[in-house]
Structure 1
């Protein structure tokens, strides 16, 4: 996933937050690339061959000297838009996370970092600008993205608020990734306090899971962090596949449906809590028959099975 870190005004903590998040992810075994703010002009001039200048704490970094670039010429004469899409596709496979330190303000370079390059924007508030100003810039970036001809998905926004504050304006921008089962204010409050730490582990864990963990963020943040290491994510992926295969077989095999209901309850609880140890034990202990049958699956079992499949 490609993530831009942005603040409306000059806000060094947004760059620091990007660097610290990258260090946490690399420490968990993920391959991470950081694009520094000073390197963006040179990078946009030739995104096909970016130079990985150095590694820092296991993070690969593109850096350079600040310079001016004619983006209109690059887009019209050198097809920069197509080159960036090729870069995005390539780096989605080469790295577990790409973090971009976006220039502040509303420059053309900032617009590209907000509208075309990322999947997610971490928007740092509390720099003296109003939340309305920041929200307006983010909405315009999303609208500009919609007008592009590359079929890009909707941006996701992760507002980082000052600890102890709320912002209905910015919270509303996060409604496409925060689960309806948790309070948006609680999710952003947890991130606000975490982001100011030396190691922003909750933010890193949330990003590496592509924001699909807001319930854990609020209900069990320790488990969210524990499961964000690369080895644990691989294990989780394998377990999800085993559960998916099991649920598919249940709909085609004669079963002890009372036992199946108990199993479904275990799976529902384990998935809700992210308790992969319990799920692993449940899968190891169960036995599923494979006798074909013509009798319909009980309606309650069918409904719960479909719900579980939708969450995998």
Structure 2
């Protein structure tokens, strides 16, 4: 996943948050590329062969000397847009996470870093700008992305507010990754305090799981961080696939429906708590069998199965 870190003004320092997040991800075994602000001109001039200029505690870094570039010429004469998409399909796949330190303000370079490059934008609200200003910039970036011809998915936004602050405008932009059961205020409060820590572990863990962990962010942040190691994520994804296969088969097979109800209860609890040990035991010891049925599936079993599949 490619994530841009952006702040409208100099404070809070988005570059420092990007570096600390990269360090946390690398410490958990993820391969991380960090494109620093000073390295953007060189990277955008030729994204086909990005030059790694440093390696810092497992993080590969692109930085350079500040310089001015003509993005209009790069897009029209050197087809920068196509080159960035080729980089996304090729080089970006070499990394588990790519973090981009976006310039402040509304420059052309900032527009590229917000609209075309990322999957996710971590947007910091700080001194000297209002939440309405920041929300407007993010909405315009999303609209510009929609006008591009590359079929890019919708941007996701992770607002980082000052501790104790609220912003309906920015909270609304986070709706597309927050679970329905999660209070947006509680999720953004957790991230606000986490971002001020020496190592923003919750934000890093959330990005490691491609934002698919808002319930854990609020209900069990320790488990969210504990499960962010690369090996744990591989195990979780394999278990989710096994659960998905089992639930899909339920719609085609007759069962001991009492056994199915017990299993569904275990799966519901395990998924809600992120208890992968319990889920693995449940799958291993399950007595549910698959045989072709002649009657309908009980309505409550069908409803619970659909709900579980939605959460996977």
Please, what TM-score do these two structures have when normalized by structure 2?
A: 0.97
Q: Does 1:271 align with 2:305?
A: no
Distance (whole Å) between structure 2 residues aligned to residue 195 and residue 306 of structure 1? 36
Q: Does 1:241 align with 2:226?
A: no
Q: Deviations over 1:205-264 (max 9, x none)?
A: 111111111111111111111111101100101111111121123233332101101110
My pick for the range that moved more, 8-17 or 18-27, is 8-17
Number of matched residues? 312
Distance (whole Å) between structure 1 residues aligned to residue 10 and residue 241 of structure 2? 45
Alignment of 1:129-278 (within 5 A): 129-278=129-278
The structural deviation recorded for 1:290 is 3.0
Task: Note the residue ranges of structure 1 that are not aligned, 5 or more in a row.
Answer: none
RMSD between aligned residues: 1.2
My pick for the range that moved more, 104-113 or 119-128, is 119-128
Task: Say if 1:311 and 1:91 are closer, same or farther in 2 by CA, change over 3 A.
Answer: farther
Q: Deviations over 1:170-196 (max 9, x none)?
A: 111111111221111110000000010
**Residue 61 of structure 1 aligns with which residue?**
61
The answer to whether the Cα contact below 8 Å between 1:7 and 1:127 also exists between their aligned partners in 2 is no
Q: Deviations over 1:21-40 (max 9, x none)?
A: 00000000000000010011
The answer to whether the Cα contact below 8 Å between 1:5 and 1:18 also exists between their aligned partners in 2 is yes
Q: Does 1:308 align with 2:308?
A: yes
The structural deviation recorded for 1:273 is 1.5
**Residue 49 of structure 1 aligns with which residue?**
49
The structural deviation recorded for 1:12 is 6.1
Alignment of 1:47-126 (within 5 A): 47-126=47-126
The structural deviation recorded for 1:48 is 0.2
Alignment of 1:25-44 (within 5 A): 25-44=25-44
Distance (whole Å) between structure 2 residues aligned to residue 257 and residue 174 of structure 1? 39
Distance (whole Å) between structure 2 residues aligned to residue 84 and residue 35 of structure 1? 14
Distance (whole Å) between structure 2 residues aligned to residue 70 and residue 56 of structure 1? 30
The answer to whether the Cα contact below 8 Å between 1:39 and 1:65 also exists between their aligned partners in 2 is yes
Give the secondary structure class of the aligned counterpart of 1:308: helix
Q: Deviations over 1:136-157 (max 9, x none)?
A: 1111111111111111111111
Task: Note the residue ranges of structure 2 that are not aligned, 5 or more in a row.
Answer: none
Give the secondary structure class of the aligned counterpart of 1:228: coil
Distance (whole Å) between structure 2 residues aligned to residue 213 and residue 91 of structure 1? 26
The structural deviation recorded for 1:294 is 2.1
The answer to whether the Cα contact below 8 Å between 2:18 and 2:100 also exists between their aligned partners in 1 is yes
Distance (whole Å) between structure 1 residues aligned to residue 200 and residue 73 of structure 2? 39
Distance (whole Å) between structure 2 residues aligned to residue 95 and residue 222 of structure 1? 25
The structural deviation recorded for 1:92 is 4.1
Please, what TM-score do these two structures have when normalized by structure 1?
A: 0.97
The answer to whether the Cα contact below 8 Å between 1:250 and 1:288 also exists between their aligned partners in 2 is no
Distance (whole Å) between structure 2 residues aligned to residue 13 and residue 201 of structure 1? 17
The answer to whether the Cα contact below 8 Å between 2:220 and 2:273 also exists between their aligned partners in 1 is yes
The answer to whether the Cα contact below 8 Å between 1:202 and 1:221 also exists between their aligned partners in 2 is yes
